[in-house]
Amino acid sequence: MKNKIIELFSVVMVLCIYFSIFSINAFAANAVISGFDLVDSNKHCDYDANQSSYGSYITTAVQKWNNYKAGILRPDTILTIQDVKIIDTNSSNVIWAGKTEYLSARIQLNSYYLNNSSWNYNNRLKTVMHELGHALGLGENNYSLSTNVMKQGKSENTTLTVDDKASYDLAYTYY
C-alpha cells in the first residue's frame, strides 16, 4: 500500500511539473536580438531622415517604438551625433524593401517595392518599423505569431507584439 501511495504521488508530481512547464512555455515570448545595434552609449538612437521621402512613415514608426520605450529613437539635431542615416534607394535587382546596415550605420528604404501599387500604407509603415527595430538591435523574429513586426517579409501589422516587446527589452539590456 505504501508503495502505491509513493507511486501515485510520483505520477502526480510529474504531471504537475509537466503542466507548469507547458503553461509557462505556452505564454512565454520569443525574444530575438541581432547582436548589433545602432544605439549610442547614452541609450539613444539619433536618426537623420532628411534624405528620405518616407518622413511621415518614419515619424509614425518612431512614435510606435517610443510609445513602448520613450526617447530611445529621436531625430538627429545639431547638438547630437547621428547614429543612423535613413535614405531611399530604388533597386529592382534586390529582394528587400528595407535594409539596415550596421557598418555604414544606415537604413535603406527601397522605393522600387515600397511604391509598388500592391503595397499599402501599413505595408510601408511595417517595413520602416521593422528596419528601426534592427537599428535598436532586434533580430528577425519568425516565431509563433505571424504578426510580429520583426517577422521578415511584407505584412500589414503595425502593432508591437509580445515577441517584439520582449526582444526590445532584451536588446535594451545590452545598450
The reply to whether 17 and 66 lie within a common domain is no
DSSP bridge pairs for 99: 108
The reply to whether 7 and 81 lie within a common domain is no
Indicate the average pLDDT of the chain. 87
Query: For the segment 19-43, what is each residue's pLDDT rounded down to a tens digit?
Result: 333 323 335 789 999 999 999 999 9
Percent over 90 (pLDDT), the chain: 80
pLDDT at 6 exceeding the cut of 50: no
The reply to whether 8 and 90 lie within a common domain is no
The CA distance from 151 to 142, in Å, is 5
The reply to whether 52 and 7 lie within a common domain is no
- pTM equals 0.84
The radius of gyration of the chain from alpha carbons, rounded to an integer in Å, stands at 21
The reply to whether 67 and 130 lie within a common domain is yes
Average pLDDT over residues 143-158: 88
Cα torsion angle, 18, 19, 24, 26, sign: positive
> Is 101 among the domain residues?
yes
Q: What is the pLDDT of residue 29?
A: 86
Q: Which three cell numbers stand for residue 87?
A: 535614405
The reply to whether 134 and 65 lie within a common domain is yes
CATH number at residue 55: 3.40.390.10
pLDDT at 9 exceeding the cut of 50: no
Q: Which three cell numbers stand for residue 3?
A: 508503495
Confidence of residue 13 (pLDDT cuts 50, 70, 90): very low
> Is 37 among the domain residues?
no
The reply to whether 7 and 51 lie within a common domain is no
Strands (E), the chain: 45-51, 73-75, 84-89, 98-101, 106-110
Q: What is the extent of the structural domain holding 165?
A: 45-172
Establish how many alpha carbons lie within 13 A of residue 57's alpha carbon, considering only the half-sphere containing its beta carbon.
25
Average pLDDT over residues 96-111: 98
Type of residue numbered 17:
I
- Least Cα distance to 31 among 105, 146, 154, 141 occurs for 141
- Split into its structural domains, the chain has a count of 2
114-to-17, 55, 117, 127, 155 alpha-carbon distances in Å: 49, 13, 8, 9, 12
- Give the count of beta carbons closer than 10 Å to the beta carbon of residue 71: 8
